[in-house]
Amino acid sequence: MVKVPVNPYVLKWARESLNLTIDEVTSRLNKRADVIEAWETGADAPSYAQLEKLAYDVYKRPIAVFFFPHPPKEDDAKKSFRTIPVSEFERLPSSLVRKIRNAVIKKENLYELCSGINPAAKQLLKEIKGHSYNIHELASVLRGYLGISLDKQKNWDSVEEALENWRKAFEDTGIFIFKEAFRNDDFSGFCLYDREFPQIIINNSMVKTRQIFTLFHELGHLLYETSGIDGLDDDFINMLPKQDSEIELLCNRIASEILVPSQDFDMKIRGMKANEESITNLALLYKVSREVILRKFADRMMIDQSTYKELSLKWIEESRRHRQDKKGGGDYYNTQIAYLGDKYIELAFNSYYKKLINDIQLTDYLNIRLDNLPSLELSLHKRWVR
């Protein structure tokens, strides 16, 4: 077996950049730990076939990287997530770290496609910067910038319609929304702060109401000019230092107040008993998750902590079962459009139609194979002429 002269330091860097342990790599390659350790110390080296599998299937890196004299310099995503201690960041699953790395790439793509200038006519984060509001004022101002009244929100026919409209409103104000299948039940999304091209990435595996809440939780982080991660339950928040956990809780409050304004909520619940039925009905009215309504009741001490915990755990388990029961499939091209979003795809195709980029570059921006490009373009035209 012919060995290839890879740089062992780059091998180690590639593994650690994804928060992978040697044991996790061995299970994916079906190799012993001492084999991987020998590659990373330079005592041995992989064959080309082994390197190919390691690069593409495990580390998701081009093979050429492993022949560099030094590990390549990349933006340190950890610095952006400054409310998360480095020790906690390094415990994040490798699948989530890859999603964060993909978001960094999309940020670079947006800078290239837009010549460094966000094309949105109004940019929420820039326009609201420097103002001082209490949480109720902030929620009202943000709703005004997004252009969606509470009556309009209540009159949407479904949660799916709500998510689509909120997403469009965010993107119309300069915040790019992407979807990903996280394949992880513990995190519902994250945001990547950037002054020009802020992003929110939501876990498409989650129920739509959770995706909506994640949009607004991450908006809270962006307002404070920091990247953030939205865990599914309170355990993630409880692991953080006090100051950082308070920021997470504040982002939850901002999301809750925008989606379910306290003044309107208090009028609705007059004379109402706080139980699972009333919580479900209010969640349907506001197009939010039952957890949002449950927290509203708990804040008003209309539900005790034991009931709160019991219902929370019950709904989390129901949500997990729902995701497990969901079958894959569906139209590949419509899925890619949903993941990337109309705004980003439109920017890429406009550059292509103006001959600013070629078809190879276009497929790089869209992360698809060249032979899939015509079918994706056809799906887009069908969507845009509706």
Q: Which amino acid is at 280?
A: T
Q: Is residue 326 included in any domain, yes or no?
A: no
pLDDT in the model for residue 81: 75
pLDDT in the model for residue 384: 67
Token code pair at residue 135: 């949480």
| Whether residues 46 and 139 fall in one domain | no
Rounded to the nearest integer, the mean pLDDT of the chain is 87
pLDDT in the model for residue 137: 93
What does the angle CA 137 – CA 140 – CA 145 come to, to the nearest 5 degrees? 125
pLDDT tens-digit readout, 277-315:
999 999 999 999 999 999 999 999 999 989 998 998 888
Q: Which amino acid is at 112?
A: E
| Whether residues 262 and 379 fall in one domain | no
Helix (H) or strand (E) holding 377: helix 373-384
User: Minimal CA–CA distance to 191: which of 206, 208, 170, 207?
Assistant: 170
| Whether residues 229 and 363 fall in one domain | no
| Whether residues 161 and 234 fall in one domain | yes
User: Minimal CA–CA distance to 213: which of 315, 90, 302, 87?
Assistant: 315
Is the pLDDT at 49 greater than 70? The verdict is yes
Q: In the chain, what percentage of residues exceed pLDDT 90? A: 49
Q: Is residue 140 included in any domain, yes or no?
A: yes
Crossing angle (nearest 10°) for helices 33-41 and 8-16: 120
| Whether residues 69 and 89 fall in one domain | no
176 bridge partner residues:
199
| Whether residues 36 and 146 fall in one domain | no
| Whether residues 200 and 90 fall in one domain | yes
199-203, strands of its sheet edge to edge: 176-180, 199-203, 187-192, 228-231
Q: Which amino acid is at 81?
A: F
How confident is residue 236, by pLDDT bands cut at 50, 70 and 90? low
Q: Is residue 219 included in any domain, yes or no?
A: yes
Domain stop point among 73, 95, 112 = 73
CA distance 22 to 116: 39
pLDDT in the model for residue 324: 65
How confident is residue 272, by pLDDT bands cut at 50, 70 and 90? very high
Is the pLDDT at 359 greater than 70? The verdict is yes
Buried/exposed code over 137-163 (b: 16+ C-beta within 10 A; e: otherwise): ebbebbbebbebebeebeebeebeebb
Lowest mean pLDDT of 37-46, 70-79, 206-215, name the range.
70-79
User: Minimal CA–CA distance to 233: which of 295, 282, 175, 285?
Assistant: 295
Is the pLDDT at 328 greater than 60? The verdict is no
pLDDT in the model for residue 381: 78
User: Minimal CA–CA distance to 380: which of 348, 347, 351, 345?
Assistant: 345
pLDDT in the model for residue 57: 84
| Whether residues 138 and 279 fall in one domain | yes
| Whether residues 50 and 93 fall in one domain | no
Q: Is residue 193 included in any domain, yes or no?
A: yes
User: Cβ distance 217 to 193 under 8 Å?
Assistant: no
Q: Which residue has the higher pLDDT, 243 or 170?
A: 170
Q: Is residue 323 included in any domain, yes or no?
A: no
Crossing angle (nearest 10°) for helices 290-299 and 276-286: 120
Give the CATH number for residue 56.
1.10.260
Helix (H, G, I), strand (E, B) or coil at 194: coil
- Given the structure tokens 């119309």, which residue do they identify? 172
SS (H, E, C) 253-285: HHHHHHHCCHHHHHHHCCCCCCCHHHHHHHHHH
pTM of the model: 0.82
Domain stop point among 269, 295, 318 = 318
CA distance 349 to 287: 33
Domain stop point among 73, 106, 129 = 73
pLDDT in the model for residue 27: 87
Give the contacts of 377 (CB within 8 A, at least 6 positions apart).
349
Looking at residues 353-375, what average pLDDT do you find?
A: 90
Looking at residues 371-377, what average pLDDT do you find?
A: 89
Q: Please state whether 229 falls in left (phi above 0), alpha (psi between -120 and 50) or beta.
A: beta
Q: Is residue 46 included in any domain, yes or no?
A: yes
pLDDT in the model for residue 133: 85
Taking the mean position of all CA atoms in its chain, how far away is CA 180?
A: 7
Segments forming the whole domain that contains residue 94: 80-318
Q: In the chain, what percentage of residues exceed pLDDT 70? A: 90
| Whether residues 233 and 217 fall in one domain | yes
pLDDT tens-digit readout, 2-11:
788 889 999 9
| Whether residues 198 and 313 fall in one domain | yes
Helix (H, G, I), strand (E, B) or coil at 1: coil
Q: Is residue 102 included in any domain, yes or no?
A: yes
| Whether residues 100 and 237 fall in one domain | yes
Is the pLDDT at 13 greater than 70? The verdict is yes
Q: Is residue 151 included in any domain, yes or no?
A: yes
Looking at residues 255-265, what average pLDDT do you find?
A: 96
CA distance 64 to 229: 32
pLDDT in the model for residue 102: 86
pLDDT tens-digit readout, 87-135:
667 778 888 888 888 898 899 999 999 999 999 999 999 988 877 889 9
- Domains identified in the chain, total number: 3
User: Minimal CA–CA distance to 168: which of 184, 190, 192, 152?
Assistant: 152
CA distance 314 to 355: 54
Is the pLDDT at 155 greater than 90? The verdict is yes
